[in-house]
Amino acid sequence: MFLKELQLTNFRRFESLKVNFQKGLNVLVGENDSGKTAIVDAIRYILNTKSFENIRFEPRDFYKPTKITGGNPQQERADTFTITAVFFDFEEQEAAKFIEWGYFNEEKEFELRLFLKAKLLDNDRITWDTKAGPQGAESHMDSDAKALLQVTYLKPLRDAEAEMTPGYRSRLAQILQSHNSFKKEKGVDGQYKKHELEKIIEDANKEISKFLDDVKTKSSDETSPTILKSINSYIEDFRQVDDQREASVKIADPELHKILKTLGLELEENSSGLGTLNKLFMAAELLHLETDPFDTLQLCLIEELEAHLHPQAQLRVINALKYISNKNGNQFILTTHSTTIGASISLENLILCRGQNVYPMWQGQTNLAIGDYKFLQRFLDSTKANMFFARGVIMVEGDAENILIPTIADLIGKPLHKYGVSIVNVGSTAFLRYSKIFQRKISPELDLPVSVITDLDIPAIEYFDSEQKDKPEYYQVKENILTDTNGNSHCLESIHKNIYTSLDDLKAAVKSAISQTTMPKGLNTQIEHWKVRLDKDNILNIRTTKSQTLKRKYDSQNVKVFTNKNWTLEYDSACSEELRDSFALAVQIAKKIKSSESYFNELFDEDNKFQIPKEIAGEVTQGNSLEEIAYHIFKPFVDSASPSKAVTAQIFSEILLLKKDTLVEALKRDSYLKYIIDAINYACGVLNEEEQEND
């Protein structure tokens, strides 16, 4: 069996929440205060833990609205909350233990439902009750059956050293006590027989006493009393007349439960670090899952798995948990803030916590194509995985945007770290389809603004004239309706006037628009003639139409596409009348660095502040039109020894910061970089706020 579903009503931050879990590994990710701990706590509250943590509800566990609605600034805290847990996939022997409370669902499969209801009374008194059974027919579950549903729980910021230290609260002792090998058995006389460990300790105590009988208080004086006799002579002076007790020395009390509390678990004789102790503690808890003799629920909750572990150790631990889960059928529900873990876990195991909802990322839940899941998983690394912990995401296709966007955000007063926005650099245009991981197949939609910044990649006419290259052909959907050779009509309204860069892309779009896996007979011949050759008269229309095509294809739910006006980020920067001189400076400096990397050191003074070299000219006057001037600035990037776009972006960023007093306002009103500013505003939630105000 495994925990299939958790429902919360008026519990902490959630007015209403339903979470579906899978067998095996489930990893809850999300920013702080996104509800991960509330979900874990709800599970352990309704099921209890094998380490017997105290459950104590507080008034703050009852939901209170955070937003003012209905004109009531003082909305009351809820006076009840409920937690419902549903278990599924029982084996016959498991189901037999819960037959009194279980039921068969609509698919004729056995399920078990637990229901906890808490009430907030006067003076902040809280009462609660847990029952089991189908809705409307719940009854109290006996303690023996309830104990079979206890979970293993590793708390956040766990003190592994204290947990593993011998003593009254020893977690190791609790784990060993539940093992059959540490249970005492009764003999034929009805009395408990001595456990093997008790015999060992008794024998050890006798040997210790025998040794101490020969140890004198003064080793040089054979007539002096022994240490133990000397201690008892003092005790005799201290005690009452009728008190005949005497002291003895033991390594442990020869009772099994007390022996177990003296045992410690360690990896080395020297004191271990927190990370090692944490791994040791987790190993002991996993042992409990494996050796539990009562066939209890094999569910382990771990909060902040990464506690005290460096990235490589995190990878080893999470991979071990994957293996254990697959091998033994254990269910793990983890929380993490680690991008290392977020990148190493399959999307099939991730549950994103955001706002008032949770969003499983596995297949069937998102709009991402099934074939893209494995590719996206390979694409994720610890840098890109930070998108699962962000309040907003900006996806870009290259290093230049990755470098320049944070600078622009700072200059316009929208520092990305302040708004919790992550930049994800894909390194290609493949991210256009990967952005669908943020779009949901079923409601609710993901409340996470995702900006996709992409180049139109329609080269300037000057490029073809200068390089003596043939101008490319594009394909534009010119008809609303097509009729195949069988007389069937096919509507292309959804892609009418769209522009595609290849015939294959056009065919794929047509098949998608008419919901066909193969092209109807006769349509290929018709669409092959929809060619549009680029020239100076239609280039503006082609760029506009391609931008609309990209937005129509990928704009959906919370994902918005932002395109530049012309060609690439670099070309469009060169088009800006107010920014192009600064960009031209950056290009010239990047060319110098390309020929000599040591030149980079000359760009900073003794205080490590950026300075523009005096020998670099920034003003650009070559060309009669804006397009000619822009191409003159951009031309180094089409040459064989082109400067690095990343270095150019870095230098351009430095220049913008150096001249921010004069360039900030120019940047805000510049039409060529407006798409970047709009993308930043959307990811920061600014455009959402403006749209809501206008509604």
pLDDT confidence of 695, banded at 50, 70, 90? Answer: very low
Once rounded to an integer, what is the mean pLDDT over residues 476-499?
A: 92
DSSP code for 426: -
| CA 37 to each of CA 129, 156, 648: distance values in angstroms, whole numbers, following the listed order | 22, 9, 44
Note the pLDDT tens digit of each residue in 267-316: 555 455 666 666 666 776 676 666 665 567 889 898 888 877 778 878 88
Is the pTM value of this prediction over 0.75? yes
Top-level CATH class of 2-158+287-360? alpha beta
The pLDDT assigned to 87 comes to: 95
- The rounded distance, in Å, linking the Cα atoms of 315 and 84 is 33
- Mean pLDDT over all residues of the chain? 84
The pLDDT assigned to 270 comes to: 46
The pLDDT assigned to 221 comes to: 74
Note the pLDDT tens digit of each residue in 520-542: 999 999 999 899 999 988 999 89
Looking up tokens 């701990």 gives 37
DSSP code for 272: P
Q: Are 679 and 453 in contact (CB under 8 A)?
A: yes
Please report, rounded to a whole number, the percentage of residues in the chain having pLDDT higher than 70.
Answer: 87
**Is the dihedral angle over the CA atoms 246, 250, 256, 260 positive or is it negative?**
positive
Tell me the β-bridge partners of 563.
454
Q: Are 630 and 567 in contact (CB under 8 A)?
A: no
Residue 45 pLDDT greater than 90, yes or no: yes
Residue 158 pLDDT greater than 70, yes or no: no
Once rounded to an integer, what is the mean pLDDT over residues 659-681?
A: 91
Q: Are 120 and 79 in contact (CB under 8 A)?
A: yes
Looking up tokens 């990710």 gives 29
pLDDT confidence of 196, banded at 50, 70, 90? Answer: confident
- The rounded distance, in Å, linking the Cα atoms of 128 and 116 is 7
Residue 170 pLDDT greater than 70, yes or no: no
pLDDT confidence of 693, banded at 50, 70, 90? Answer: very low
**Domain segments of the chain as ranges:** 2-158+287-360, 196-258, 392-426+565-694, 461-562
pLDDT confidence of 690, banded at 50, 70, 90? Answer: very low
The pLDDT assigned to 250 comes to: 76
Count of CA atoms in the C-beta half-sphere (13 A) of 31: 15
Buried b (16+ CB within 10 A) or exposed e, 164-177: bbeeeebbbbbbbe
Lowest mean pLDDT among 219-228, 309-318, 604-613, 625-634: 219-228
190 CB-contact burial (10 Å; exposed 0-12 / middle 13-18 / buried 19+):
exposed
DSSP code for 444: S
Residue 68 pLDDT greater than 80, yes or no: no
Residue 366 has which token pair? 């998102």
